[in-house]
Amino acid sequence: MRYHKISDETIRRLPVYLRDLLTLSQQRRAGVSSNDLASLLGVNPWQIRKDFSYFGDFGTRGVGYDVENLIRQIRKILRLSTVNKVALVGVGNLGTAVMAYPGFKRYGFEIVAAFDIAPKKIGKHIGDVRIEDITALHTLYRRQIHIAAIAVPRDAAQETAEAVVRAGVKGILNFSPCYITVPKRVKVITIDIAMDLARLPYYLSGN
Amino acid sequence: MRYHKISDETIRRLPVYLRDLLTLSQQRRAGVSSNDLASLLGVNPWQIRKDFSYFGDFGTRGVGYDVENLIRQIRKILRLSTVNKVALVGVGNLGTAVMAYPGFKRYGFEIVAAFDIAPKKIGKHIGDVRIEDITALHTLYRRQIHIAAIAVPRDAAQETAEAVVRAGVKGILNFSPCYITVPKRVKVITIDIAMDLARLPYYLSGN
DNA sequence: CTATGTGAATTTATTCACAGCA
DNA sequence: TGCTGTGAATAAATTCACATAG
C-alpha cells in the first residue's frame, strides 16, 4: 500500500461493498474472495481489489478476505463505526419518509432532532423526536449534531442550507430537488430519486 | 455535431439539466446561457456545452439557449416526451412511498399497475390503482407496460426481477437494496438512498 | 496452486482554448 | 462582441497482467 489520493468513485463504491458484506455476515459467511464479491455486486474483481488496496492490505493471498474484518475496515474508512447524529429539517411528507427509512439506522445514522417552520407541527412528536421550531437550529452546534438532512420545499432549500451551516453543520443530506451553494468546507450530498428515474427510458430499446 | 458514443456520465447529467430548466421555465425565463445554467447547477459551463453538443446544436452563438427548446430536446433524448407506464411490484412501506413520490409524475412516469403477494392487500386500492396478485404479472406485456419498479424485500428481489423480465419488461427501477442479475437487454437502475447517505461522514472534516 | 496487491497500459472523461457564427 | 460548439490536451478511472505471499 502506497499513498494515493482516494477518488470519489472509490468512495461511492465502498458503501455498496459494505451493504453486501453485511448480507454475507447475516448469512454467517466467514470468508469471501474478490471474485465472489464481484459476482454478488455486479462489478469486476480487480476493481474491488484496487479499491481496497488504497486503504491497506485487508486480505490474505491465496485465501481471500475475512468478512467481519472487511466490514470493520470499511466502516472505519467511511466513519460509520460510531453513530452519526442527524437533524432533520422539514417534517413534511418527504421528511417523514426519511425518518422512517430503515437504511438510516442500518448505517449508523440516528435522527436525534427535527425542525419545522409550521407552528402547528411544533411540539408534536415524530417517533421519539420532538419537533422544534426552526429558529432553534442554532442549538445544533452545542448538541454536537454535525449532519443535517434537509427536506424542505425547493424554494426554501438554499436559505435552510445557509441556516444549518451557520449552526455549525459540516455535512448536508439534501433531499430537496435543487443544487444548493455552501462554503466548500461543507459537504453536500443531494439525493433526488427523480434524477435516477429519469434516465431509465433512455436505455430502453435502441441505443 | 459529429457522431459520438454517448457516455453514461452525460446521460446522468441530462436529468439534472432538465430539472433546473423546468424551474427556469416555471419562472417564465426565456433564454439561458451555459454560464447561467452552470452556476445554477454547480457544474462547469463547458461541460454543459459539450454534453449538449453530442446531440445537436441546441444553442445560438452569441445568444445562448432557448429554455423551452432545450427542455423539449432533453425530454426527447431521455425519452420523457411521452408518458412512461410503470408497474409497481411490492406495495409495502417503500412501495407506497414510491407511489406518492411527486418526481414520478413530474418526469412523465405514471404508475398504472400495482402488484403484491399478500392476499389481504390484493383488491385494495392505492390511489386509483387496484392492487393485483403477483401471479398476474404476465399481463404486463399485453398492457404495454415496459417498466417495473421493484420494491420488495431484499430476499425476494432477484426472483421478482426474473418474473418481470419474463413478463416482457425492458427496464427496472430497483428499490430493493441489492444487486439483481438480468439479461443484458434489460436495463436496471438501482436506487438505494443508504448508499448515498453512507458516504457523507467520510467527507466531514479531515480528508 | 490460489487469490491478493499493484505498477503499467489502456480507456474514458474532463478541461481547455479558440475557431466560428449570430 | 458574446456565447456556442468542438478538436486537442490533460486528467482520471478502469483494466490488465503478473509478481508476491500464504
Q: Which nucleotides of D are covered by protein (CB under 7 A)?
A: 1-7, 12-17, 20-22
B94-121 pLDDT per residue, tens: 899 888 888 899 999 999 999 999 999 9
B124-165 pLDDT per residue, tens: 999 899 999 999 999 999 999 999 999 999 999 999 999 999
Whether pTM > 0.85 for this model: the answer is yes
Residue B203 within any structural domain of the chain: no
Is residue A53 located within the same domain as residue A128? no
Asked whether B163 and B137 are in contact (CB, 8 A), the reply is yes
- pLDDT band with cut points at 50, 70 and 90 for residue A207: very low
Residue A143 within any structural domain of the chain: yes
The neighbour count for residue B30, using CB atoms within 10 Å, is: 10
DSSP conformation class of B204: S
Residue B162 within any structural domain of the chain: yes
Final residue before a domain boundary, out of A27, A57, A78 = A78
Range of the domain at A121: 84-195
Residue A200 within any structural domain of the chain: no
| CATH code: domain of residue A68 | 1.10.10.10
Is residue B134 located within the same domain as residue B181? yes
Is residue B164 located within the same domain as residue B182? yes
Residue A120 within any structural domain of the chain: yes
- Cα–Cα distance, B28 to A143 (Å, whole number): 43
B141 CA, D15 C1': Å apart: 39
- Cα–Cα distance, B33 to B65 (Å, whole number): 6
Is residue B101 located within the same domain as residue B36? no
Looking at chain B, which residue has its C-alpha nearest residue A154?
B23
Asked whether B62 and B70 are in contact (CB, 8 A), the reply is no
Final residue before a domain boundary, out of A78, A99, A127 = A78
C-alpha torsion angle, residues A175, B39, B67, A196 (rounded to 10): -30
Looking at chain A, which residue has its C-alpha nearest residue B149?
A197
Is residue B64 located within the same domain as residue B98? no
Sequence letter at residue B206: G
Is residue B100 located within the same domain as residue B174? yes
Is residue A104 located within the same domain as residue A170? yes
A53-88 pLDDT per residue, tens: 999 999 999 999 999 999 999 999 999 999 999 999
Q: Is A88 helix (H, G, I), strand (E, B) or coil?
A: strand
Q: Is the dihedral of CA B17, B18, B22, B25 positive or negative?
A: positive
User: What is the count of structural domains for chain A?
Assistant: 2
